A and B are shown apart, each in its own frame.
Chain A
């Protein structure tokens, strides 16, 4: 439970034309913790993540990395600060093997040729560090992997780059129970290894199983950000559906803070 967040957003506004999607959003992420980002469809989860990842420029607000104000204008900027995002659709290439996918677009070279040995070693080390034992060979084509294994490769790809913050968009959405369990354990291990993890999920069991904090968005506003140990399922559902729960959350109907 570190005092300074590794990533902190304050007063983020974002509009698409006349539609304001994010209103004065504050969001903090801590190293060694899983922060779950929850909210109904259209609450602004994906937009917020894309702002963090530099895909959408923010209209107003401040962005801090380890307490230092920074400007993030592109995904490359975000990656430079150690932010990696794993999207729901995974974006892996079926016709390439695991190593090729993990280094796609950032291949290691020795002289003019690709340094296959080093890449293989780094990929193996990363998978090993995550205690991934489900893949048989790292030279296996991604098309031959199960949904859970693909998710694992996508997560390992994000971790490979000395990233500090890994954002996972619905990593268990398309998986069966056994694979979900493996991915959840992997998510937990990332944080236990010291990374800051942001988990977007609609599944409250997944959220409660692995998260340390829960941030609930409601209609583009941050309704509350709380420790998971201090909140019940019923309260979170109320925050998601109405933006408030008792003393928690937004204190009047239009969402402005009282």
Chain B
């Protein structure tokens, strides 16, 4: 049994915390950091000196403050020098980005994928190719401190194994290991479910800043969910929790779902349900098809409007269940659900007014993602940064070795 953390552990913790403040909150003066972290200014000075020495932050005189007295130095993240690789694998699109410390997207590559033939080697090949192109363009003094990927399926977090991707037909594919091998940077790739990462990103940088109980719903072909309770992402026993798309809402007479079941929420709300109800031809798929239905509904297409109302009603039922169970302060509609929510808010909120317990609906706010379509990608970048933010000096030393 130990008495408490050693001075070394405290120092490491403080370094990480300071770096996290600058990473998430943007450039801040030493005085402000001292105030936010509850430490005295000389400790802050020592910590910033160490981080500056390692090349993670730099200190600058602020521009004219307009106030009297010696200005406090501003601590800035070294966004151009320290970066991570972030990947987003959706059913229809693959994105790779180079994201600097502080969250600036420095470079990105994107590809629209055809629906057929979702092979591990193809996906990994494209992403690794994008990454190599972007890394090649960097200056020699830059350093990659991590890699993270958002994936549209159920992921084992310990090794990035995709256990099940109902809409792409994957079962137990070693995505994380394979991507790490193909990148050849000597870095492991952390992988998590895309909706989980969307929730994380909106919590740290988006609409959910300051809200510790939120639910992020991500519409792609299916519906993913990321649930943050008490400031922490709800994972469950194996990290597969939050699959709100497979909440059974209509077991009798429900539509067939990609997971093999019937009447799942995503079978009633997902892309296929909307397009089928709007009587769109089966060739039309993807985000653009969903957006065109919302657009047609706005222009008075009756089939599209009825389809949107029907889907909105089911979405409302799903959200009502979630709000009753988790009592969140915020529900965020991301991916294609952004358009669907804005186009059917009357149905969604009518369901909530009818089906959510009065005390639970007092405080819940419904929002679209502040990070827009990039929520999942930003989440992947945050996942990649998490290690350097916990143990800045060691991770950096390892990356530059």
Taking the closest CB of chain B, its distance from the CB of A60, in whole angstroms, is 35
Q: Is B87 an interface residue (CB 8 A)?
A: no
Q: Which residue of B lies closest to A209 (CB)?
A: B345
User: Does A118 sit within 8 A of B, measured CB to CB?
Assistant: no
Tell whether A176 pairs with B364 under 8 Å between CB atoms, given A208-B345, A229-B353, A233-B347: no
Docked pose: A131 CA to B371 CA in angstroms = 10
| A229 CB contact (under 8 Å) in B295, B341, B346, B362 | B362
**Do residues B370 and A131 form an inter-chain contact, with CB atoms below 8 A?**
yes
State which of A180, A185, A233 has its C-beta within 8 Å of the C-beta of B350: A233
| Bound Cα distance A257, B352 (Å) | 29
- Interface: A136 (CB within 8 A): no
Interface positions of A from 213 to 258, Cβ below 8 Å from B: 228-234
Is B345 within 8 A of A177, CB to CB?
A: no
Minimal beta-carbon separation of B243 from chain A (angstroms): 26
Bound-state CA distance A131–B372 (Å) is 12
Flag if A233 contacts B346 (CB, 8 Å): yes
For the complex, what is the distance from the CA of A232 to the CA of B346, rounded to whole Å? 7
Question: Could you tell me if A177 and B291 are in contact, using CB atoms closer than 8 angstroms?
Answer: yes
A93 part of interface (Cβ distance < 8 Å): no
Hey, what's the 0/1 contact readout for B323-352 against A, CB within 8 Å counting as 1? 000000000000000110111111111101
- On whether the beta carbons of A234 and B342 are closer than 8 Å, the reply is no
Most chain-A Cβ atoms within 10 A of its Cβ — which of B294, B298, B344, B362?
B298
* A228 nearest in chain B by CB position: B349
Contact B352 A205 (CB under 8 A): no
Q: Assuming the A-B contacts A131-B370, A188-B367, A229-B353, are A177 and B346 also in contact, with contact meaning beta carbons closer than 8 angstroms in the complex? A: no
Please, which residues of chain A bring their CB within 8 A of the CB of B298?
Answer: 176-177, 180
The interface residues of chain B lying within 8 Å CB-to-CB of A184 are 342
**Interface members, chain A 190-204 (any B CB < 8 Å):** 204
Instruction: Please name all residues of chain A whose beta carbon is closer than 8 Å to the beta carbon of B339 when the two chains form the complex.
Output: 177, 181
Kindly identify which residue among A131, A178, A206, A231 contacts B353, using a CB–CB cutoff of 8 Å: A231
With a CB–CB cut-off of 8 A, which chain A residues contact B366?
Answer: 209
8 Å CB contact of A205 from B291, B342, B361: B342
Interface residues on B, range: 20 to 34
Residues of B close to A180: CB separation below 8 A: 298, 342
Residues of chain A within 8 A (CB-CB) of B338 are 181
What A residues does B190 contact at CB under 8 A?
Answer: none
User: B368 within 8 Å of A by Cβ?
Assistant: yes
- Distance in angstroms from B392 CB to nearest chain A CB is 30
Question: Is B104 interfacial (CB-CB < 8 Å)?
Answer: no
Complex-state Cα separation, A209 to B367, whole angstroms: 8
Kindly list chain B residues whose C-beta atoms are within 8 Å of the C-beta of A205: 342-346
Q: A81 vs B3: C-alpha distance in the bound complex, in angstroms?
A: 60
- Of chain B, the residue at the smallest CB distance from A184 is B342
User: Do the beta carbons of A234 and B350 come within 8 Å of each other?
Assistant: yes
- Chain B residue with minimal CB distance to A226? B353
Known interface pairs A176-B295, A185-B368; A209-B350 also in contact (CB < 8 Å): no
A208 contacts B367, CB within 8 Å?
no
Q: Nearest-CB distance from B201 to chain A (Å)? A: 15
The docked-state distance in angstroms from the alpha carbon of A176 to that of B370 is 20
B342–A209 touching, CB < 8 Å: yes
Whose C-beta in chain A lies nearest to the C-beta of B351? A232
Residues of B within 8 A of A185 (CB): 368
Which of B294, B341, B346, B354 has most A Cβ within 10 Å?
B346
The 8 closest A-B pairs by CB, nearest first: A209-B345, A232-B350, A208-B345, A233-B346, A208-B346, A233-B350, A208-B349, A177-B295
Contacts A205-B343, A206-B345 aside, 19 further interface pairs with beta carbons under 8 A come to: A177-B291, A177-B298, A178-B291, A178-B295, A180-B342, A181-B338, A181-B368, A184-B342, A188-B367, A205-B345, A205-B346, A206-B342, A208-B345, A208-B346, A209-B341, A229-B353, A232-B349, A232-B350, A234-B350
18 contacts across the A-B interface (CB closer than 8 A):
A177-B295, A177-B298, A178-B295, A205-B345, A208-B345, A208-B346, A208-B348, A209-B341, A228-B349, A229-B349, A229-B356, A229-B362, A230-B358, A230-B361, A232-B353, A232-B354, A233-B346, A234-B350
- A residues neighboring B (CB under 8 Å): 131, 176-178, 180-181, 184-185, 188, 204-210, 228-234
Which positions in B face A, CB cutoff 8 Å? 291, 294-295, 298, 338-339, 341-350, 352-354, 356, 358, 361-362, 364, 366-368, 370
